[in-house]
């Protein structure tokens, strides 16, 4: 798979965020043909058949999710595009939003038509100023060309896209938090069931999909489900965006077949480690997923293979750490993020994230004791599976895996012989 699709903007000489360039490049023809020649049911079937799984983190089959929308309720159906992208280490959706927003809009027209939605939303992360401006311009240009609104492409389909800007809270990326936020409320996640497909935004059937997931739809409809299935593993195929950051020579977002090996991603595409350094650890799917040691990178980066290796593909935000990394300091930093971002609705998360950060601060500053390691593990354990949403699990998983995989470093940090503490540690704190 050498041709780039999701990152096509990297291969063409024109600016694809300009609607005229996008149209000259064949843009909107797939949506036009789909609305003219195919029934909504045929599109849902094609997406189901393609094996596309959600790129937002959980990897749920997209076509199957779409079939959960109940028929004949008399209520409107909504499509929400999740462009919150707040998981640390994740910056893939941003590429599409800033450089090829029409790819997303065209895909959303096809997806909205398939599920019977007239009003679709793109919920974009507050800090994405460039993405927000580019997207708003692209949506306005699509309306001006008659690609959005009533009677699009001269037919009788109506699709509207509303861009909703978040204020920069991680919890707004959780689908039910996002729904509450669109409704104008504080983004406290809802209990599931009922799932959004049945009872979502404004109490109506709602499909929430990630930017990259939706962007795949246009390519599936254009090239067929069999083409999509021919890329990567049967259990979750397709082109995939991998973001690589940290101690590599060429950090960036790479479009590769799903299932590309983690070693190839780091050593070839991201240019390998900085000179003279050795690999120590890799977080394969955004900061919330379990960390891997250097000897665990010979795995394929697809949902099932990473799960088999004891971690998760998550958002495919790969964070690479070399042998200069202080794992205690990294875990403290990660825990600070989840403490800061907990919405506070559930006690295990609200209190637990704070305890984790406090204990880790103590350890990093040289005041920890061996009992703190047991406490960390037991607090983290009690935060898993006990809350409305999985932010709590997202905070607990790195703690448990760092303790498991880098135990020696944590043991040394609480032994009193670690050289921690004193002025330098206080300065960091």
**Considering beta carbons, is residue 46 or 394 the nearer one to ligand FMN?**
394
**Considering beta carbons, is residue 204 or 391 the nearer one to ligand FMN?**
391
Nearest to 206 by CA among 175, 185, 250: 175
d(CA 205, CA 45): 19
Least gap, CB of 24 to ligand FMN (angstroms) = 29
Nearest to 413 by CA among 368, 371, 381: 368
- Residue 191: CA atoms inside 13 Å, Cβ hemisphere, count? 3
Three-state DSSP at 193 gives coil
The C-alpha R_g of the chain, in whole angstroms, comes to 22
Least gap, CB of 90 to ligand FMN (angstroms) = 7
Stretch that binds ligand FMN, among 49-57, 142-150, 291-299, 402-410 (CB under 6 A): 49-57
Least gap, CB of 313 to ligand FMN (angstroms) = 11
Stretch that binds ligand FMN, among 9-17, 169-177, 228-236, 277-285 (CB under 6 A): 169-177
**Considering beta carbons, is residue 8 or 53 the nearer one to ligand FMN?**
53
Nearby residues of 237 by Cβ (< 8 Å), 6 or more positions away: 50, 51, 52, 228, 229, 230, 231, 258
| Element housing 378 (H / E) | helix 370-382
**Considering beta carbons, is residue 1 or 64 the nearer one to ligand FMN?**
64
Cα–Cα distances in Å, from 51 out to 309, 353, 426? 22, 36, 51
Q: Which residues pair with 28 in a beta bridge?
A: none
Residue 329 contacts ligand FMN per CB under 6 A:
no
Least gap, CB of 209 to ligand FMN (angstroms) = 4
Residue 213 contacts ligand FMN per CB under 6 A:
yes
* Tokens 């024109």 sit on residue: 14
The torsion of the CA quartet 101, 238, 66, 30, rounded to 10 degrees, works out to 50
Residue 108 contacts ligand FMN per CB under 6 A:
no
**Considering beta carbons, is residue 103 or 325 the nearer one to ligand FMN?**
103
Q: Which of 57, 200, 237, 352 binds ligand FMN (CB under 6 A)?
A: 57
Q: Which of 98, 106, 141, 175 binds ligand FMN (CB under 6 A)?
A: 175
Q: Which of 174, 180, 255, 372 binds ligand FMN (CB under 6 A)?
A: 174
**Considering beta carbons, is residue 53 or 280 the nearer one to ligand FMN?**
53
Cα–Cα distances in Å, from 366 out to 286, 374, 410, 424, 427? 28, 17, 11, 10, 13
Residues 360-399 as x/- pattern, contact with ligand FMN by CB under 6 A? -----------------------------xxx--x-----
CA angle 258/323/278 to nearest 5° reads 65
* Tokens 């397709």 sit on residue: 238
Residue 255 contacts ligand FMN per CB under 6 A:
no
Least gap, CB of 58 to ligand FMN (angstroms) = 5
Residues engaged in binding ligand FMN (CB under 6 A): 54-58, 60, 82, 84-87, 170-171, 173-175, 208-210, 213, 389-391, 394
């Amino acid at each position: 798979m050498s041709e780039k699709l999701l990152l096509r903007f990297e291969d063409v000489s024109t600016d694809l965020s300009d609607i005229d360039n996008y149209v000259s490049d064949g843009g909107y023809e797939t949506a036009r043909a789909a609305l003219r020649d195919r029934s909504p049911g045929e599109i849902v079937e094609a997406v189901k058949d393609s094996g596309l799984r959600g790129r937002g983190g959980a990897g749920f089959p997209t076509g199957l999710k779409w079939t959960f929308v109940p028929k004949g309720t008399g209520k409107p159906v909504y499509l929400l595009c999740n462009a919150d992208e707040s998981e640390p280490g994740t910056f893939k959706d941003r590429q599409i939003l800033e450089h090829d927003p029409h790819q997303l809009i065209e895909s959303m027209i096809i997806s909205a038509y398939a599920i019977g939605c007239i009003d679709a939303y793109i919920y974009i992360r507050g800090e994405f100023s460039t993405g927000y401006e580019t997207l708003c311009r692209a949506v306005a240009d699509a309306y001006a060309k008659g690609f959005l609104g009533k009677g699009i492409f001269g037919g009788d389909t109506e699709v509207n896209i509303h861009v909703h800007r978040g204020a920069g809270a991680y919890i707004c990326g959780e689908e039910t938090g996002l729904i509450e936020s669109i409704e104008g409320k504080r983004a406290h996640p809802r209990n599931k069931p009922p799932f959004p497909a049945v009872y979502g935004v404004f109490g109506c059937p709602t499909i929430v999909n990630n930017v990259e997931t939706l962007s795949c739809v246009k390519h599936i409809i254009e090239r067929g489900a069999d083409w999509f299935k021919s890329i990567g593993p049967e259990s979750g195929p397709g082109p995939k965006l991998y973001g690589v950051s940290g101690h590599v020579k060429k950090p960036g977002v790479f479009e590769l077949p799903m299932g590309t090996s983690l070693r190839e991603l780091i050593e070839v595409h991201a240019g390998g480690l900085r000179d003279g350094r050795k690999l120590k650890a890799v977080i394969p799917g955004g900061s919330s997923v379990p960390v891997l040691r250097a000897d665990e990178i010979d795995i394929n980066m697809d949902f099932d293979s990473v799960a088999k290796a004891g971690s998760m593909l998550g958002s495919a935000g790969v964070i690479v750490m070399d042998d200069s990394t202080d794992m205690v300091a990294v875990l403290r930093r990660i825990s600070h993020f989840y403490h800061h971002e907990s919405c506070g609705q559930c006690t295990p998360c609200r209190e637990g994230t704070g305890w984790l950060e406090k204990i880790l601060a103590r350890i990093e500053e040289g005041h920890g004791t061996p009992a703190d390691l047991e406490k960390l593990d037991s607090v983290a354990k009690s935060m898993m599976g006990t809350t409305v949403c999985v932010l709590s699990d997202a905070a607990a998983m790195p703690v448990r895996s760092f303790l498991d995989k880098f135990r020696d470093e944590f043991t040394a940090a609480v032994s009193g012989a670690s050289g921690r503490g004193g002025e330098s540690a206080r300065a960091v704190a």
